[in-house]
Structure 1
Amino acid sequence: MKTTSMADQLLNQNIMADQEQKTETAEEKPTEEQTPAPTTESSDETKAAAPETQPPAEIAAPPAAVPEASEKVEPVSVTGQETIAAPPAETKEEPKDAAPEEAKPEEAKPEEKPAEETPAKEPEETEDKEQPREDTIQPAPAPTPQPTQTTGMGTVETGEIHETDPHATTPRTTANLEATATVKIVLMPSGQVVTLACTLGQTLQQLKDHFSQELKMPGNLILMMFDGKSVDENTTLADLGVGPNGTIQLEMQSADPVNTPIKTYRPRQEYHMPDVITVRVQTDENQSKDVVVEIERATRKKPYLGGYRHKKTGVLYHHATAQTVKKQPPPSQIPKNCRDTQTVQQKHRVQQTTNDTSTQMTGINVFVSNMEDKLIVPGKYTTADEHHSMILRKVIIIQKYHRRWLAKRYVEKLKEDKIQRLEWERQEELKKKKEKEERIKKEFERRMNPKTKEDFDLLYHALEKWRQEELERINGTSDGAERKAALCMLLDQETQLISAIGRHKLEADTENKDKRIQAFLNKAAAPKKWKGHDGKTTEMDTPYTIRAKELRDIYNSINMKYLTQDERLDVLLTLKHTVKEHDCKLTQEIIELIDREADLLMRGVREGNLDGLRKRISTLFLQYIKTPTFNPEAAKLLKVPQDPSALRKNIYFCPSCNQYLPSTEFALSSNSRTVGKCHKCTKIDNDARTRQDYSTYTYMLKMLRRSEERHGDGSRIAFLLQEQDLRYLVEKIWSRQSILSAWEDIFDLVLSRWDKHQEWSPWNCILLTKDEAAAHDRLVDLEEGYGQVFIQKVQQKHVLARNYFSRLPGMSEHLRVMANDRYTQPNGPAINGQQVPVQSKA
């Protein structure tokens, strides 16, 4: 059943009447002798009114003439612009979901006595038409107060002016002040309608206090109007003529609308229904009754009780629950007692029941046939010893077959292990062979196309090795003038090879220079990165990195080749606008070169003649990028500090090139007591005379340090050694071969700990292959794994290493600390330098 609030119908009727006022024709007005009907009209008088054509006049909201919950209101029909009350006899019950059809207009019949006018109600709208909410802003403007004439329950405008006695007092009503009425507040000038459920004894001052809190404005600036007139604050709703379950409309406006206007009322979001609704109930076959229902808000969330889905339409239907609390049954007068239940304990026992049988034989008056009888002869008697011996023989047979099965399974397992071991050895052999081939291929590639400093050291080392072999051959095979000629030829060949290496170095320097420039630009333009507590990496671009990224893109653009003339001019224009931001000698020179190239391009000069000019522009712009004033991100990437006071710290003198350089330009060995040559001078001296290659020992030292980091016991000596120290340890102490297998391939050898519970040091190491080192780390007791002779041989090498490396400044200090710790710590077993507690015997 659809329900429509009577207050809503009255308000919508006012709006519709206001819109129809201009188009309706004038009809006969009621006479002045008609007096307003009392507010408590009986339902019989309302039914007696014959249907007639109502005058097309604006109908204002009745202040007090609202039917109570007990009154019966007839359903009405709307015909065009006229409101016609439907006769009770023709009223038919309509289905719930069907919208009421419009009734056909009936001819108005003149009556001698004017009937009471009842407020016409609009037909109920269909479900697809949206219903206006009571708590939202309705744009209907409030009607201008005019003198009205009341006839029955409706009000009709008249043009006459009536005088009122200002000293007359409003008679106090005798209605129940605790009853509830619906109050509609029209907020002026917005026209928003707010509906509240109030008691009849509530005063207008209480309404002001409520709206002052809701609208956040002083209460003395709120004016309450009823029927276009101001009302006293102490007036109650009952004094205004509204009855129980009735409806009244008030207007609220601000006393200072300019400075403190009435704000828009925003209801609470959790309430979507009005406080009061009107429900039409069908009482009899042709009669209905309007009941005012007050809504109680639920304080708990409705539980989900399941539902079902329509297979064809797919509509979901949920089960509903009653809103009322379940009625509790009255307490029983019969006393009740309860006791705990006892669990039955079950027991399983074997029991054999007796079986009664009977036999029958031939006797007097009884004949039993013996045709199917069998003759049973007792067998050999078996003693208990014979029975047990038979069981033992069967058990031995079972054990024999079981052991055979176990032996066969063990042999098959050994065969599988052997096959897997052979396959693993084959795979390891192939892996080692492949690694060796890749290493040789990589070394050949390094010699044919050297690019790094280590590659050129390898070439010079190979050249020196070849020269030494040729020199030995010449000294052994010739003498005199023939020897001198061979030496001169050897010198010429060495000179040609050095010249070829120099040409490769120039090409590599050019390529490495471009790579260094790109690395510098990429590092300056890289965003800031840090790792959060959740392990995720966060990147952030700063204004400095964005500036560096723009300069990097421009630098790459001006160095691009095979550009068209328009593209090149576009790049030059972008570069010119970038450097014009700063006015200095460098930028002026760049702008001058840009204008010169643009002029030559417009004259049609070949690009081959512009290579020098473009190279100058690129070099000057790179200098522009490296200037911290123009690129602040480059300040921390420059080797020369911008602060002159920083140049006075950690500066040393190189006696070879006579230059003052920072400490990072010197190679400080662990056995050096004074600062020697710088890196550049040391490299030149190595290329000219010694020609040593330390790339192998660099790789070995890197692997050693990585292994010590995995132990995590604070090892420090491995990080003090340099490539020269490791070379002396491998070649002089351990003779460049494995002490176990005498394997001489330096790429397969590693320096491992002799005692894995102590940190690595030159006197606590052993040179083994990778496989031997892995097996050595798995040993628990060295004395059980190795013989006494082998242990003494290793200890002898440890003594030689201690005597040599103890003279180093860093090593001597470390040995002193270790000696103090040895004397201060108590004797006993220790793991990773931590003392292990030992329980004393009682």
Structure 2
Amino acid sequence: MIVGFIISGINIKGVSLFVSSVKIMLLPDIQMITMAFSIDQTTGYLKQYFASQLKIPPDVLQVMFQGIETLMSLGVRPHGTIQIEMFSLDLEKFPIKAIQLQPEYNMPDVITIRVQTDSDTFQEVAVEIERPTYRKPFLGGFRNRMTGVEFHNAGSQTVPKKRPDKGIEIFCRETQTVVERRKLQQTRNTTSTQMTKIGLYVSNLTDKLIQPEKYFTAAEYHQHRFNAVIVIQTYYRRWHAIKVVQKIREEKRLRLEWEAQEELRKKREKEERLRKEYERRLFPKTKEDFELLYHALELWRQEEIEHINNTLTGAERKAALCALLEKEAQLIASIGRHKLNADEENQQKAILYFLDKCAEPKRWKAFDGKITEMDTQFTLRARDLLEIYRSISMKDLPQEERLDVLLTLKHTVKEHECKLSQDIVELIDREADLMMRGVKEYNLEGLRKRICTLFLQYIKTPTFNPEVARLLKVPPDPLKLYKNINFCRGCKKYLPSIEFSMSANSRSVGRCRRCCKLDNEARRREAFLKYKLMLRNLRDAEVDYHDDAKTAFLIQQQDLQYMVESIWGCQSALSAWDDLYDLVMVRWNKYCEWSPWNTILLTKDEADAHLKLSSLEQAYEIVFIHKIKHKHILAKNYFSQIPEMASVLHKDDNQPRWDMRNDTCGPRLLGLYRSNPAP
């Protein structure tokens, strides 16, 4: 066995990367195998390796070394060689056979070649194969169809030399623009025939006899193509018709699904609205909730009276009416008790909202749309007072925390010496003394309410809380009230103007809001929630136009109620739908500002479709347009007395109007709105 190593790289830490070619001579077949090993490998490692390759036990193999020497200790140097003979101790059971080469060849890093230096002299030279640092390009190739072996065209093994930079930009020919010239040319088509002649015999066994078919004239040929075109068009039109029908069928299916979903959505919305209305009647909290309660009570009373009048007469009728009156009184008393509880809860919420309003920082919008906030000494003072009020209003506080809150309140009110602060300090000392004596919580509720009431009065005093001056309904200076005070004919009180609700055509102040509310609860018992929602939706829609509309904000709830009930008949102008919760007021001409003489009452779906119209004259019939114009004239006559609306009315009068006599379109109606309009 001969071992040889050739350096394949540089290693400054050791010799583990130095390799040599090892020649192994297998006896008795005298087979020479050359392989690469590191020069620090032991002969024992070589023995184990060849034992696995020869598939015989390593104990049977025998070499001339003990198996612990390395190739370097034997004197092997890089590019050196050593020969080792290897044979088997038991040739009968474990003979050494020639190693079968693996079918897949792996090129070693080092090979040994014989170079002829003279005619009879040869020299073995170790050659190191340098691995390229780049991937060779694929230059094509071919595949043997019989064996399936692929052969690739060889690429250059050496890296091409980099061209020296001459300072001149050079392009190869492939990047240049090629000038082409098109020219038609008939190519050669060489044909030949072979026949029997002297010295040549051509067999006619494979010849075929061809007979000419029927001759087609040009007219027959074109007629045949025309018939074929008709057949193709027939089948294409059939295919196209099937596709169109499938598309229409799919659109119909989607439309029906959408309509079913819309019906389900409307049903859910109505159920949700009824559920919320039922909850509001069951647990009333706001003024609108009690309006719904009184309205439901009035509807129930009218139904009972109608039932009594239809079924009973004489003394029985009078007795039933008396029983109904007593039951109505009981229901009114029950509603009153609910109202007292709700007023107490709402009063506390109103106080906290008022104090939060005082403690808000100053806000303004910059030119870039960002909101800037700033706290002043007055807002900070109001915030401190708010926190103290919340602390003393809390219930179920431990005794230590309650004493800390009272001490903080005492130091706060003692900053100003007055009768009010002295009363608060006296009450604080009294509560602290009672708490130290172990008085129960429920016995201190009255005292604590007095402390909260006096401290709230302290907060509402502008001397102690300057920020509250801008939120008080009654300003500190009585002279400012003289120009803003009106007399209520119902309760006989002088109240500020904000306490009066005036309609658009009112000529006098009349009664205040509280008297109107009390009169409604006692007599008519109407619910105005649906009109409030309609007015809110109208104003939100006008804000979305961004055209500086202001007429919708001049209209009050009473004005909108008059328009819906007296002018539009509480029903849609197209479908006569009379559920006010589903009706909305929209612009008749969407390009002009909303006003009582530029509006139409429709359902929500009809309003969405109406606002998508580009021409009203082409969408509606002339009779329908005349009905809408007549309602607009009634609204003009009613609202023309208001100075603010009169200016808008004169502005609209100066704009060109639609004239029926100049209309050449004739009576037309959009298919979507083909229904009986309201009279």
Q: Which amino acid aligns with 2:219?
A: D
Corresponding position of 2:584: 750
Moved more, 726-735 or 404-413: 726-735
Deviation at 1:475, TM superposition (A): 4.5
Alpha-carbon distance between aligned partners in 1 of 2:369 and 2:640, rounded to the nearest angstrom: 44
Deviation at 1:407, TM superposition (A): 1.1
Corresponding position of 2:323: 489
The percent of aligned pairs where both chains have the same amino acid is 62
Contact residue 754 and residue 766 of structure 1 kept, 8 A: yes
Deviation at 1:707, TM superposition (A): 2.4
Contact residue 697 and residue 726 of structure 1 kept, 8 A: yes
Q: Which amino acid aligns with 1:574?
A: T
Match of 2:337 among 503, 525, 528: 503
Superposition pairs of residues 431-450 of structure 1, within 5 angstroms: 431-450=265-284
SS at match of 2:586: strand
Corresponding position of 1:513: 347
Deviation at 1:477, TM superposition (A): 4.7
Contact residue 490 and residue 511 of structure 2 kept, 8 A: yes
Pick closer, same or farther for the CA change 1:741–1:533 going to 2, 3 Å. same
Corresponding position of 1:561: 395
SS at match of 1:530: strand
Alpha-carbon distance between aligned partners in 1 of 2:176 and 2:645, rounded to the nearest angstrom: 82
Corresponding position of 1:176: none
1:249-271 Cα distance to aligned partner (Å, 9 max, x none): xxxxxxxxxxxxxxxxxxxxxxx
Pick closer, same or farther for the CA change 1:828–1:647 going to 2, 3 Å. farther
Pick closer, same or farther for the CA change 1:534–1:523 going to 2, 3 Å. same
Pick closer, same or farther for the CA change 1:373–1:690 going to 2, 3 Å. closer
SS at match of 1:652: strand
1:592-634 Cα distance to aligned partner (Å, 9 max, x none): 2111111111111111211111111111222222222222222
Alpha-carbon distance between aligned partners in 1 of 2:525 and 2:176, rounded to the nearest angstrom: 98
Structure whose residues are more often helix by fraction: 2
Corresponding position of 1:740: 574
Pick closer, same or farther for the CA change 1:365–1:444 going to 2, 3 Å. closer
Pick closer, same or farther for the CA change 1:390–1:484 going to 2, 3 Å. closer
Give the greater-gyration-radius structure (CA). 1
Say if 2:628 is the partner of 1:794: yes
Contact residue 505 and residue 638 of structure 2 kept, 8 A: no
1:97-131 Cα distance to aligned partner (Å, 9 max, x none): xxxxxxxxxxxxxxxxxxxxxxxxxxxxxxxxxxx
Alpha-carbon distance between aligned partners in 2 of 1:624 and 1:737, rounded to the nearest angstrom: 53
Pick closer, same or farther for the CA change 1:709–1:472 going to 2, 3 Å. same
Corresponding position of 1:581: 415
SS at match of 1:797: helix
Q: Which amino acid aligns with 1:731?
A: E
SS at match of 2:510: coil
Alpha-carbon distance between aligned partners in 1 of 2:211 and 2:654, rounded to the nearest angstrom: 100
Say if 2:484 is the partner of 1:650: yes
1:51-94 Cα distance to aligned partner (Å, 9 max, x none): xxxxxxxxxxxxxxxxxxxxxxxxxxxxxxxxxxxxxxxxxxxx
Match of 2:255 among 421, 424, 428: 421
Alpha-carbon distance between aligned partners in 1 of 2:636 and 2:363, rounded to the nearest angstrom: 45
Pick closer, same or farther for the CA change 1:380–1:678 going to 2, 3 Å. same
Alpha-carbon distance between aligned partners in 1 of 2:614 and 2:548, rounded to the nearest angstrom: 22
Deviation at 1:413, TM superposition (A): 0.6
Instruction: Kindly tell me the number of residue pairs found equivalent between the two proteins.
Output: 488
Superposition pairs of residues 250-399 of structure 1, within 5 angstroms: 345-399=179-233
Alpha-carbon distance between aligned partners in 1 of 2:238 and 2:309, rounded to the nearest angstrom: 75
5+ residue gaps, structure 1, are: 1-327, 330-340, 830-842
Pick closer, same or farther for the CA change 1:533–1:759 going to 2, 3 Å. closer
Contact residue 739 and residue 767 of structure 1 kept, 8 A: yes
Pick closer, same or farther for the CA change 1:636–1:476 going to 2, 3 Å. same
Q: Which amino acid aligns with 1:402?
A: Y
Pick closer, same or farther for the CA change 1:580–1:489 going to 2, 3 Å. same
Alpha-carbon distance between aligned partners in 1 of 2:469 and 2:275, rounded to the nearest angstrom: 41
Alpha-carbon distance between aligned partners in 2 of 1:570 and 1:795, rounded to the nearest angstrom: 71
5+ residue gaps, structure 2, are: 1-165, 168-174, 664-679
Moved more, 670-679 or 538-547: 538-547
Deviation at 1:814, TM superposition (A): 4.2
Structure scoring higher RCO (CA < 8 A, sep ≥ 6) equals 1
Deviation at 1:659, TM superposition (A): 2.5
Alpha-carbon distance between aligned partners in 1 of 2:479 and 2:397, rounded to the nearest angstrom: 46
Alpha-carbon distance between aligned partners in 2 of 1:661 and 1:526, rounded to the nearest angstrom: 28
Corresponding position of 1:776: 610
Moved more, 695-704 or 485-494: 485-494
Contact residue 671 and residue 809 of structure 1 kept, 8 A: no
Match of 2:300 among 466, 478, 498: 466
Contact residue 460 and residue 468 of structure 2 kept, 8 A: yes
1:135-185 Cα distance to aligned partner (Å, 9 max, x none): xxxxxxxxxxxxxxxxxxxxxxxxxxxxxxxxxxxxxxxxxxxxxxxxxxx
Q: Which amino acid aligns with 1:557?
A: S
Corresponding position of 1:171: none
Match of 2:522 among 685, 688, 712: 688
Deviation at 1:815, TM superposition (A): 3.5
Corresponding position of 2:499: 665
Alpha-carbon distance between aligned partners in 2 of 1:342 and 1:412, rounded to the nearest angstrom: 55
Moved more, 758-767 or 607-616: 758-767
1:262-282 Cα distance to aligned partner (Å, 9 max, x none): xxxxxxxxxxxxxxxxxxxxx
SS at match of 1:485: helix
Alpha-carbon distance between aligned partners in 2 of 1:686 and 1:498, rounded to the nearest angstrom: 14
Superposition pairs of residues 611-626 of structure 1, within 5 angstroms: 611-626=445-460
Deviation at 1:652, TM superposition (A): 1.9
Superposition pairs of residues 125-140 of structure 1, within 5 angstroms: none
SS at match of 1:639: coil
Alpha-carbon distance between aligned partners in 2 of 1:563 and 1:815, rounded to the nearest angstrom: 63
Contact residue 670 and residue 809 of structure 1 kept, 8 A: no
SS at match of 1:649: helix
Deviation at 1:664, TM superposition (A): 1.3
Deviation at 1:731, TM superposition (A): 1.8
Q: Which amino acid aligns with 1:497?
A: L
SS at match of 2:495: strand
Deviation at 1:414, TM superposition (A): 0.8
Corresponding position of 1:405: 239
Normalising by structure 2, we get a TM-score of 0.66
Q: Which amino acid aligns with 1:711?
A: Y
Q: Which amino acid aligns with 1:756?
A: K
Alpha-carbon distance between aligned partners in 2 of 1:809 and 1:754, rounded to the nearest angstrom: 23
Q: Which amino acid aligns with 1:381?
A: Y
Match of 2:560 among 712, 718, 726: 726
Superposition pairs of residues 145-164 of structure 1, within 5 angstroms: none
Deviation at 1:519, TM superposition (A): 1.0
Deviation at 1:747, TM superposition (A): 1.0
Corresponding position of 1:761: 595
Corresponding position of 2:513: 679
Pick closer, same or farther for the CA change 1:749–1:402 going to 2, 3 Å. same
Alpha-carbon distance between aligned partners in 2 of 1:487 and 1:366, rounded to the nearest angstrom: 138
Pick closer, same or farther for the CA change 1:368–1:464 going to 2, 3 Å. closer
